[in-house]
Structure 1
Amino acid sequence: MRASFFANWQKHWGYIRDVAPYADIHTLIGFLRSADTTELWNQRNLEEWQLPYVCLATCDFPPPTGVAAVHRPEWLRFRFDDRYRTLRDLWIESEPDFTFLRLTYRKPARKKEPGPTEFIKADYVDVDRRWLEGAYATPHKYVIAAMDRTFPS
C-alpha cells in the first residue's frame, strides 16, 4: 500500500486539495510520518482510494497563511459518519460504505484551535471510489521539493 501511495502521491495530493482547498503539504507529510509509525499501510481491507479520506479525517486544516489566506479564511475538519467511531471500523468492514463530512469553523480569535462556538456549517463530501482515475494538476515545485526532501526515493 505504501509503495502504491508514493507512486500516486501527486494524485492523492490533488484530490486532498480538491476536498480541502489550500491544504498545506506539511499536513500531508505529518500524516504520512504517522502512517509509517502506526503501520497504517498494513491494515487489512484498507484500499488506496480510502487514504485521502483517512488523511482528511485525522488532520486539521487551519486557514492558509500568506497570499492564500484570502481564499479560505476558515478552518476545516473532516469526519466519517457516526457508524465509524474510529478508523479501525474502516478496516473491519470489507466494503465500507460511509458518508463523509466537511466541517467549517471560523478562525478562533483567542484560542489555538476552534471549538463548538466557532462552528459554521457541515457539508457532505461526495465519496468517490474512483478518484484515482482522475487527472490532477502537477503540484507546485515547493510541494514536490518538500515531499522529495522528506521521503527520498
Structure 2
Amino acid sequence: MTRALQILTGRRFTVEEYVDEFGTKKDGNGNLRVRPTVVCVACRQPMHTVSENIPSTARTWGHNPDPNAWCPLKQSAGERYEILPPIDPNPEAGAAIRSSFFENWEHHWAHTAEIVPMVSIFLFINFIKEADRKKLWENRGMQEWFLPYIFLSMYEIEPPHSATGRKTRPHWVRCRFDARVRTFGDLWIRPQGDWGFIRSEYRVPPRGGVPGPTHLIDTDPVTPDPDFLARVRPYANSFERDKMKSNFPVEIA
C-alpha cells in the first residue's frame, strides 16, 4: 500500500514522507526510534514500512502480522461481495425502493460517476438485473442510498476503452466497504452510515488479466453520502438513457 493513515491527525503518509517527518527506524545510536502508529485506511489495523532503507526498491506499507485481522484489501485479486436472496424479505418495502430507484436512476448514476468516473452503463444494467434476480430490494433494513455503493463494490472496473476515457481514468478501480462490512448483510444491521467505503486504483497488468496486490497504486477513503439523492444533479447522456430504456422499458418511459 502506498499510503497509511495516522488516526490522531487524519494525515496520510507515504513511507518517504513518514521517514522525512519522524526519522528512520533507528536513531544515531542504533536504538529503535519511537514513531507514531499508522494504520490501514480500510481495516484500521497497524502497519509497518516495507523496504524503508532500500532506495532501489519500492517503499510501501504492509499490515502487521495478525492471523485474526481481516482486511478487504488483503483479499487477493479482489474477492467480490455477493448478493444473496433475503432470508426475511419485505416485498412491499422492496417494491417501493425499486420504484424510487428507477425514478432516481440518473441521480444514482451521477453519484456513481462522482466516485468512479467513466464507469460502464452495461455494468450498471447488469447490477440492476442481478438485484432483481436476487431480490436485493427486499432486504429488511435496505435503504435506497446504499445502492451506488453496493453496485461499485461488486465489479472489477476496467479503464475505459476509448482514448478519451483513458485520459480521464487510465487505471483499474476496485471499490470495497471497510472492515466493518464483510457481507452486504452487515449493511442492513448497522446504524445508518456506520461504515466506510474505499476506492483503490491499480495499474493495468502488462500481460492482461485482473490486477492483483502488486499492481495497487493507492487507496482513498470515500465518505458515504446518505443525502446524495437531494444533492447531485441527475445526469446521463443519450447513449446511456437509450440503453436503460431498452433494458427496462416498463420502468423508464
The TM-score with structure 1 as length reference comes to 0.95
Q: SS of the residue aligned with 1:78?
A: strand
1:115 lines up with 2:115 in the alignment: no
Kindly indicate which of the two structures has a greater share of residues assigned to helix. 1
Report the equivalent of 1:144. 241
Report the equivalent of 2:224. 127
Q: SS of the residue aligned with 1:102?
A: strand
Q: Distance in 1 between matches of 2:223 and 2:190?
A: 19
Report the equivalent of 1:77. 174
Partner AA of 2:192 in structure 1: E
- The number of aligned residues is 153
Q: 1:30 aligns with which of 126, 147, 152?
A: 126
Q: 2:189 aligns with which of 92, 97, 121?
A: 92
Report the equivalent of 2:202. 105
Using the TM superposition, give the Cα deviation of residue 127 of structure 1 relative to its aligned residue in structure 2, in angstroms: 1.1
- Runs (5+) with no aligned partner, structure 1: none
The TM-score with structure 2 as length reference comes to 0.58
Q: SS of the residue aligned with 1:98?
A: coil
Identify the structure with bigger relative contact order (alpha carbons < 8 Å, sequence gap 6+). 1
Q: Distance in 2 between matches of 1:95 and 1:14?
A: 22
Contact 1:45 1:94 in 2 (8 A): no
Moved over 3 A (4+): none
Give the superposed CA RMSD: 1.2
Instruction: Write the mapping of 1:9-20 to structure 2, written as runs, cut at 5 A.
Output: 9-20=105-116
